[in-house]
Amino acid sequence: MRPASFEYHRATSLEHALELLGEFGENGRPIAGGQSLVPMMNFRLARPGHLVDINRLPLDAIEIAGPVLRIGALTRHIAYFDNPWIARHFPAFLDAVHYIGHPTIRRNGSIGGSISHADPTAELPAISVLYDADIVARSVTGERRIKAQEFFLSAYVTALEPGEMVVAVEFPIPPAASTGSFIELGERSGDFATASIGISLEHGGGKIVRAAMVCCGADLFPMRAPEVEDFLVGKPLVNPSGAEAGCIFAASIDPVDDHIASADYRRGLIAELTHRAIEAACTRALDKS
């Protein structure tokens, strides 16, 4: 449980970090909060020859940039907790971060790290998929934006190329008449989820006008639920048929079966969480209006 040997480099600027990462390619890795990377290295599941410490870089701003909320890659999980603006515009986001780990982990862990690590049941990847966020990645050759839905390829596998790093995640700001919710269940508080469901809704005239839903625990990456999203359109906020939506979704998935939870249990749980998340989001919408 000790890491294999590696060289440590402290990046002094973004350009410096990109240069180093470009130079090391496959053999280099950025280190942010270290809350996922260090355990992986101690188990020797990750063996980067070079670590590029990006913690000194000024990448921790949360800012509204026109139509998007732009969150710098080094923003720590703790930063959202007392942000009423996020609570108002991205309620599912704020719900979700409360489920992340424990205080120490939230103080150290970063959004860039969480997104890049791509744990299949991590909250921030799920939230970025739910809100159709853009992952802003940079390398020495330039910047590109990757749609969250195209970013997470499998468990711990992303669309990032060697030499590339995440600099920010951009969330389109939902319209005023919108709300959402995020519910998860794990064995213990702070554990990665056995399953979780996020819902984001636009509503008008007491009805759902547009819906997005994300689920963790059904596959090896956070997946959207197009059949539920379609089903929900036109449903009343009062009694939105959440239970039925849960059944529809549960019938369409083939969840993971492991020693924490059987596939049957996950399917049942996901149906129930879908129901509850929809109810919670609709209740919020009604409370607001």
Partner 1 sequence: MKADRPKHIGARVQRFEDTRLLSGSARYIDDIRLPDMLHLSFVRADTAHANIVEIDTSALADLEYATWVFTGKDTAGLSMKAHQDYPEMQYSEQPLLAEGKVRFVGEPVAVVLAEDAYRAEDAAELVFVDYETLPVIGTMAQARDSSLPSLFDGWASNVIVQRQMKGGDLEAAKAAAAHVIKRTYSTQRQAGVPMECRGVVASYDHADRVLTVWSSTQMPHLVRTYISEELDLPESRIRVVAPDVGGGFGVKGQVFGDEVLVAWLAMKTGRPVKWIEDRREHLIASIHARDHQHTLEAYVSADGRLLGLKADITVDNGAYSTFPFTSAGEPGMVGKVLPGPYDFQAYEATFRAVATNKCAIGTYRGVARPSAVFSQERLMDDIAKELGMDPFDFRLKNIIRQFPYKNVLGFSYDEGSYAQSLEQMQALLAEDVTEAAASRSSSTKRVGVGIACFIEQTAHGTPDFTRRRVPIETGYIAARVEMSPDGEVTIDLGLQNHGQGLETTMAQVAADALGVNPENVYVRHGDTLTTPYSVGTWGSRGGALGGGAVHLASLKLAAKLKTIAAHLLQAKPDEIELANGNAYVRDAVQRFIPIRKLARAALRNVDQLPEGMQPGLEAEQRQDGPKDGTYSNAVHAAVVEIDIPTGKMKLRRFVVVEDCGTILNPLVVDGQVRGGVVQGIGSAMFEHFIYDAECQPLTTSFADYLMPLAPEIPNIEVHHIETPTPLTPLGAKGLGEGGAIGPAAAIANAVANALDVGVSCTPLNTNAIWKLSQHLRGAA
Ligand X SMILES: Cc1cc2nc3c(=O)[nH]c(=O)nc-3n(C[C@H](O)[C@H](O)[C@H](O)COP(=O)(O)OP(=O)(O)OC[C@H]3O[C@@H](n4cnc5c(N)ncnc54)[C@H](O)[C@@H]3O)c2cc1C
Where do contacts with partner 1 occur on this chain (CB under 8 A)? Answer: 1-5, 39, 43-44, 185, 187-191, 194, 259-262, 265, 268-269, 272-273
33 binds ligand X (CB under 6 A): yes
Residue placing its CB nearer to ligand X in the complex, 60 or 132: 60
* Choice from 36, 178, 196, 274 touching ligand X (CB under 6 A): 36
Minimum separation from the CB atom of position 279 to partner 1 (A): 12
Minimum separation from the CB atom of position 161 to partner 1 (A): 28
* Choice from 9, 24, 35, 148 touching ligand X (CB under 6 A): 35
Residue placing its CB nearer to partner 1 in the complex, 173 or 260: 260
196 binds ligand X (CB under 6 A): no
**Encoding tokens for residue 69?**
């909320």
Which stretches within the chain are classed as H helix?
14-24, 37-42, 84-89, 91-97, 103-108, 111-117, 123-130, 148-151, 226-232, 242-252, 263-288
The partner in contact with residue 35, picked from partner 1, ligand X, none with C-beta cut-offs of 5 to 8 angstroms by kind, is ligand X
Contact in structure between 71 and 62 (CB atoms under 8 Å): yes
- Under DSSP, the state recorded for 157 is E
Q: How many residues bind ligand X (CB under 6 A)?
A: 29
* Choice from 9, 11, 18, 29 touching ligand X (CB under 6 A): 29
* Choice from 34, 49, 204, 268 touching ligand X (CB under 6 A): 34
CA Rg value for the chain: 19
Residue placing its CB nearer to ligand X in the complex, 40 or 286: 40
Minimum separation from the CB atom of position 6 to ligand X (A): 12
**Encoding tokens for residue 65?**
């940039």
Contact in structure between 137 and 99 (CB atoms under 8 Å): no
Residue placing its CB nearer to partner 1 in the complex, 254 or 258: 258
Minimum separation from the CB atom of position 24 to partner 1 (A): 20
Give the integer Cα–Cα distance in Å for 109 and 101. 9
CA–CA distances in Å: residue 39 to residues 20, 28, 56, 62, 202: 23, 17, 21, 28, 40
Q: In angstroms, how far is the first alpha carbon of the chain from the final one? A: 54
Name residue, tokens 């188990």: 43
Which residues form the interface with ligand X (CB under 6 A)?
A: 29-37, 73, 99-101, 105, 108-110, 112-114, 116-117, 122-124, 165-166, 190, 192
